[in-house]
Amino acid sequence: MIELRYGANPHQKTKPITFASGKEPLRLLNGAPSYINLLDALTAWQLVKELREATGLPSAASYKHVSPAGAAVAKEIDEAFKESQFLKTTDFSPLASAYVRARGGDRMCSFGDAAAVSDVVDVSLANFLKTEVCDLIIAPGYEPEALEILKQKKKGNFLIFEIDADFDPDAFETRELFGIQLSQERNSKVITRADLTDIVSRNADMPESIYQTLLVAAITLKYTQSNSIALAYDGQIVGLGAGQQSRIHCTRLACDKAEKWFLQRHPKVRELQFQDKMPKVAKTNLIDQYLLWDSLSSREEAMMLNGFKERPEPISKEEKAQWINTFAGITLASDAFIPFRDNIDRASRTNVQYIVETGGSLRADDVIQATDEYGMVHIHTGIRSFLH
């Protein structure tokens, strides 16, 4: 039996969690969770499990408020990523690299996250996690030494969940809202490469490597609060716009985040000289300010400059655009059809080259025409992935 500390807010009381199937696939190995901790952990687990099945690679997600801050599959960490994320090494196990990349997709939103990984947690991942501000982890298992490392985190209060990787819940799920029960079939539609074959644009040039990134983007949206748009690059999410009432606002948010991610790798950013003993979170905030330099007030600019050893050279708008245009393979996914071409126009400014969406909007021809104007590859899946 797992007791909860409190509900969505501390003043809301809870009851122990129950298992609808009669099976007990989830175990609490350490800590005392809240209601939202369970929502994050269980939603994140479904994402990494499906990513693992779709790509065959160890997968990870960083969750906050029931939407991913980042998600990624395992790949080597390059030097630019290491420097841009203030990492001390690139020597990570495949599983650890997946989480490092997922967390690095949006390091500000990942602060205090819920971590989910598809494979047994090893010492490499545990050693990285013990240095990060993270609230919990959910995984199918733990190496004994890794588990002991994690149990020491947060003065012994770090939340550790173990889930049965083979557990398959009932076909229908039920929730109660305002005293009324709603039931529906779980969204068990598995998104695979076979769903990425309907290319509707004139440009049909799809490199093999792009399919993996498209799958990461499309599957991530299945476990993101709608409306949602994801930008992905090299097998990881680099920008996510979640829970907005208008799709163009999702697109703007996702593109803005992605641009920040690409600019974190810019030579001028990697060469910034910070004041001594500045913590990583302060450097992160300072870089965010630096990248907005041309729109800061004089007071904000003065405060920002206090964090550097010497006055840095700004990155001009032209330099930013040129830098982002050096990246090949940027993809955009939508959890439902794209209703207007304004989403494509905005995506073009972030050098998006591949689009995957449900298709079928009233203005689908206008949207496809826009992707043709920009030379993008445009795919319809016929699958809507709303989550509420």
The residue ranges of every structural domain in the chain are 26-169, 187-263+323-380, 267-314
> What's the whole-model pTM score?
0.95
Q: Are 335 and 227 in contact (CB under 8 A)?
A: yes
Tell me the two tokens of residue 9. 């807010």
**Would you call 266 a catalytic residue per the annotation?**
no
The matching CATH number, chosen from 3.40.140.20, 1.10.3720.10, 3.40.640.10, 3.40.50.10330, for 187-263+323-380 is 3.40.140.20
Identify the active-site residue in 37, 227, 343, 351. 227
Class of domain 26-169: alpha beta
3-state SS, residue 92? coil
- Picking from 163, 62, 173, the residue whose alpha carbon sits closest to that of residue 116 is 62
Residue 374: HSE in the Cβ half-sphere, 13 Å Cα cutoff: 23
**Would you call 64 a catalytic residue per the annotation?**
yes
Are 26-169 and 187-263+323-380 the same fold in CATH? yes
User: What is the per-residue pLDDT for 182?
Assistant: 95
Reduced to 3 DSSP states, what percent helix, strand and coil does the chain have, rounded to the nearest 5?
A: 40, 20, 45
**Would you call 388 a catalytic residue per the annotation?**
yes
User: What is the per-residue pLDDT for 147?
Assistant: 98
Counting beta carbons within 10 angstroms of the beta carbon of residue 154, is it exposed (0 to 12), middle (13 to 18) or buried (19 or more)? middle
* Residues whose CB is less than 8 angstroms from the CB of residue 9 and which lie 6 or more positions away in sequence, other chains included: none
**Would you call 65 a catalytic residue per the annotation?**
yes
Mean pLDDT per 10-residue interval, the chain, length 388 residues = 91 90 90 96 98 97 96 96 93 97 95 97 97 96 98 96 95 92 93 96 95 97 97 98 97 98 96 93 93 89 90 94 97 97 98 97 96 98 95
Identify the active-site residue in 64, 75, 222, 380. 64
Instruction: Give the distance from CA 263 to its chain's centroid.
Output: 18
Identify the active-site residue in 13, 88, 317, 388. 388
Q: Compute the distance between CA of residue 137 and CA of residue 146 in angstroms, rounded to an integer.
A: 12
Q: Compute the distance between CA of residue 70 and CA of residue 82 in angstroms, rounded to an integer.
A: 17
Q: What's the pLDDT tens digit per position in 281-302?
A: 999 999 999 999 988 898 988 9
